Amino acid sequence: MTKERRIPSSRLGRFSQLGRLAGGMVGGMVTEGARQLARGNRPAIGDMLLTPANARRLADRLSEMRGAAMKMGQLLSMDSGQILPPQLSEILTRLRENAHRMPLGQVAQVLDDSLGKQWKEAFKRFDFKPVAAASIGQVHRATLRDGREVAIKLQYPGIERSIDSDIRNVGMLLKLSGMLPDGIDLDPLLDEARHQLHHEADYEHEAELLRRFHAHLEQDQRFTVPGVIGELSSRRVLTMDYLHGKSIETIENLESAKRNDAARHLTELAFREVFDWGLVQTDPNFANYLYEHETGRIQLLDFGAAREHDEQQRIDMRMLLNACAANNDELILDAAARVGYLDNDDPPGYARSVLLLLRTATQPLRTAGPFHFGNSDLAREMGEQVKQMRLESRYSRMPPMHILFLHRKLGGLYMLLSRLRASLDIAELARPYLDSTERAEPGNAA
């Protein structure tokens, strides 16, 4: 993080940021339009609006605001990143990479308001420079009086009470700007961003999710989940054990056995999350996985985006898994309708597009023996097929949000397995969730 700037905390302050942004972008559009007309060109409004200068304005202003702006960027990237104009994709990338940290005085105020003015007495050392940042908060490193190292997640001030107005204002800006492709229905994304932000803004809720994952994995020597320090946590502050692992990407040059072990453990974890627990960590950011080289354990971070799946959803998704493994089009389409991919109002041909997407996503499941992820680009292929479904078929209905977040989970997992050049027998890993009568014939990976 390279910039320190006070996060606007009042609704008026945050709205004025968007007003300044809109004014600056209109000014930039007029300037670009005059430049193009002077050259004898007749530019489209979208081309004038999404100039490099305006892209920088938008990314910089939204990164200052964080909150809803960041969440909208994440959700748009998750479902529509393959079909956005290149300039808007660049904006969303800048949002993920650029962060503004709170100044020291604002950090202290958040701690005062959440833990009381005596919070300093609990710490031997507190590092005011954050080690990480996200859409609604930043993380600091500290040492307790007893010598235990902790990570402290602090919520940006004003984020929770400004969620609804931020979502409304950012949505209005995106709709009026002409930056989104025709046919994209933004309302489900706005509703989901609002829902997700309200959940993530409640750090007591995240602490409970963290405790649940900790309980699920406490006896599993392959993983480490940080413990919660309850007496130093609140609705806007979350204090947990600090983990010293290295980035998961640091294992990509280790011998294949260690890479495959880590990849297998993460894949088995994903199956357990979806089908055993109904509790899925859906943020695929590589930064949420650390690797302890001394023990080979994988350390898991950030459970704010964890989503629950009820029993019926898990049953339906397991039916879809079995149908894809059986390589049976009729079973796949029936299960896809149960899950929510299809309904009676779908246009002709849409079912074929869904079928192709599901076949691509589950190709490793139908491969006899190890699937070599280092030689595949499944995440990109899935993105291209979503692009075709959204644009060429001119159809923009999205699957239910819990499925959309599973797309995010699966795409992120495939990218990580590709990065690790993993070779895994996915059918064997999926065996506990497959009905023996519904498996594909060996070698049938169509």
* C-alpha span between 45 and 141 (Å, rounded): 47
Overall pTM surpassing 0.75 (yes/no): yes
Residue type, 53: A
Reading the block at residue 333, the tokens are 């389409």
Residues annotated as part of the active site: 283
**pLDDT tens-digit series, residues 215-235:** 999 999 999 999 999 999 999
**pLDDT tens-digit series, residues 269-309:** 999 999 999 999 998 788 899 999 999 999 999 998 899 99
Q: Does pLDDT of 176 surpass 70?
A: no
* C-alpha span between 424 and 429 (Å, rounded): 8
Give residues with Cβ within 8 angstroms of 28, minimum separation 6. 49, 51, 53, 54, 57
- pLDDT at residue 442 in the model: 38
Lowest mean pLDDT among 32-36, 67-71, 153-157: 32-36
pLDDT band at residue 156, thresholds of 50, 70 and 90? confident
Using alpha carbons, list the distances in angstroms from residue 287 to 175, 238, 283, 303.
32, 18, 10, 12
pLDDT band at residue 312, thresholds of 50, 70 and 90? very high
- pLDDT at residue 94 in the model: 57
Give residues with Cβ within 8 angstroms of 422, minimum separation 6. 259, 260, 263, 264, 373, 374
Q: What is the mean pLDDT of residues 318-325?
A: 97
Chain-centroid distance of CA 239 in Å reads 22
For the chain, give the mean pLDDT.
80
Using alpha carbons, list the distances in angstroms from residue 110 to 4, 228, 234.
16, 19, 11
Provide the β-strand partners of residue 396.
Answer: none
- pLDDT at residue 396 in the model: 55
